[in-house]
Structure 1
């Protein structure tokens, strides 16, 4: 997934955004939170590190990512 040049900005610096967590998230589990930004952009952050870096993507890129996750395309990929 190619993401915008703003990725890596501290997530707590985004003012006036509403972060939300998936309804599939388990209490105390590893969770990703997302927020809608202006100009059809999405921010994603680690719920355990809300001041940490945010990944910024267009809504189209985010939809491709979600589709890949749901279809299992990303299952089994190892970290670089």
Structure 2
């Protein structure tokens, strides 16, 4: 069994203790997804689903809240439009 590592930026995502990964229901079928997991201490880990053992980024709940609220307001729509990632309205 692989040993768990402390939650820090750049840690191997598949070795974060207590991480249960999930992705958006709007993710595309080719595996180009971002996955998130709430960690035991309350922080949120983010990883690339195509590289589950790659590095994770760790954010505080307040940082994730600010990002999600901004996404809901459309603050990042211009970044996704060219990639075909915009959600249906």
| TM-score interval (norm. to shorter) | 0.7 to 0.9
Aligned-residue RMSD, C-alpha: 1.8
Higher RCO (CA < 8 A, seq sep 6+): 1
* Gap regions ≥5 residues in structure 1: none
Greater strand share, structure number: 1
Instruction: Return the match for 1:9 from 11, 16, 22.
Output: 11
* TM-score of the superposed pair, with normalisation by structure 1: 0.78
Structure-1 residue corresponding to 2:36? 34
Runs ≥4 residues deviating over 2 A: 74-77
With normalisation by structure 2, the TM-score equals 0.71
* Ranges in structure 2 where 5+ consecutive residues have no aligned partner: 1-6, 80-89
CA distance in 2, matches of 1:15, 1:57: 15
Once the two structures are superposed, what CA deviation does each residue of 1:22-43 show, in whole Å capped at 9, x if it has no partner? 1111211421000010222000
- Between Structure 1 and Structure 2, whose CA radius of gyration is higher? 2
